[in-house]
Structure 1
Amino acid sequence: MGIRLIKISVVYFVIGVLIGLGMSMTHSFVLTPVHVHINLLGWTALTLAGIIYHLFPQAAATKWAKVHFWLHNIGLPLMMIGLIFVVYGHEAFVPLTAFGGVLVVLGVISFAIAVLQRVRASSSS
């Protein structure tokens, strides 16, 4: 689970950097919210979650980790696709953006449950 999340986070990182490059080349920064969210929720958050799951495989082995993986990786693309349309003035995509955001939040809550239930200090001190 940890390695899978780290690999997926790199894909989000490439997408985020490409959006940033495109904005800087065109001097149009309308996609800044998409760029920021992909880098924060895709690259940074999933990298850190992947590292935590790798260091604490007992957390990665839970149903909560699987729920986190799927909700985060379904919700984030939906939220970002919706947000692209919203920032270009298509208000009809607000519900898609919100729905994707709710899935990500539920995924993060699942991650928190996995960590809080299964991550413990080592008994060898």
Structure 2
Amino acid sequence: MQVIWDLEKAFVKDAIEHLPDPKPHYNTIATLMKRLEEKGYLAHTEYGGSYEYYPIIGKENYKQTFMKKVLNTFFDNSYFNMLAYFAKEEKISPEEMKELVKMIEKDKK
């Protein structure tokens, strides 16, 4: 999705050009873009049998949808479980945890 947002619209070959090496196979990216379209994230315009894809969902909406799925799938729909995981795995520093607590307390006021 990031490549499509960056390019604003792209054929499969354009998307592949903007990916890091090693480049994935053309069919892999074509299938991925088709699946993203089926899920309602992309749409396309057809030019003589070639599809130029463009995003129909913004980054923020995509992020919210993605994070809801992650939260539900891996953390039993619990923000506490998610934050506890990152704390236990030391993926978040004590300073960052304090900042999160401040943000939560501020929002409750």
After TM superposition, the score normalised by the length of structure 1 is 0.21
**Bigger share in strand:** 2
After TM superposition, the score normalised by the length of structure 2 is 0.22
Which of the two has higher C-alpha Rg?
2
